[in-house]
Amino acid sequence: MPRNPERRIRLADAGLAVLAEAGARGLTHRAVDAAANLPAGTASNYFRTRDALLGALGERIFERLAPDPAVLEPLAEREPTVDLVVDYVRYIVERLLGRPELSLALMELRLEAARRPDLHEILSRTLRQGFDADVSFHVNAGLPGGAEEIRLLHFALDGLVLDQLTPGTGHPYDVDATTDRLVRRLLG
């Protein structure tokens, strides 16, 4: 297996761009090579199978969506209240909608995983790790609510992001105010 981590990242980022733009059907090793401006066969050297490529893209999405510690530090100094949860969730929504290509690529991956058992296993593991990390962060920060509330927030945010990035309700609404209401209703 090739050991150049910078090239692997370059290929994964190119793959995410292809996935967001062309969908899962347009994602091929050749398309990734072309998008990364690398010789034909490079992507298949790093990701032997389509499932390996798709799984690596899922991991890369979460690396690129990782929060900025400079934003989290001042939040961590505040009292652990519902208001603080609102601000954390607003920051999550900001990251998801601020990088629509990553959110769209993740939606494509999830749909593809519904049809591909090997990808389902890989992506489920990545998503579970992310969920577990979210719950751990929430509990360790002493924030109100627990695992079930985090699960419900995940479901709500998935729907909010889907509605924002695809044909949605057809009625404009304030995403920030909607996020505030979602959190407050779920956390009581």
Reference 97, options 10, 6, 178, 184; nearest CA is: 178
Query: Whole-angstrom Cα distance, residue 142 to residue 165?
Result: 32
Q: Which domain holds residue 77?
A: 58-187
Q: How many domains does the chain have?
A: 1
Size (the chain), residues? 188
Residue 163: inside a domain, yes or no? yes
pTM over 0.85: yes
CB 100 within 8 A of CB 165: yes
Tally of CB atoms within 10 A around 25: 9
Q: What is the mean pLDDT of the chain?
A: 93
Q: What is the pLDDT of residue 141?
A: 93
Low-confidence ranges of the chain (pLDDT < 70): 1-2, 170
Q: Is 47 exposed, middle or buried (0-12, 13-18, 19+ CB in 10 A)?
A: buried
Query: Whole-angstrom Cα distance, residue 69 to residue 167?
Result: 33
Q: Is 160 exposed, middle or buried (0-12, 13-18, 19+ CB in 10 A)?
A: buried
Q: What is the pLDDT of residue 172?
A: 80
Q: What is the pLDDT of residue 2?
A: 67
CATH number at residue 107: 1.10.357
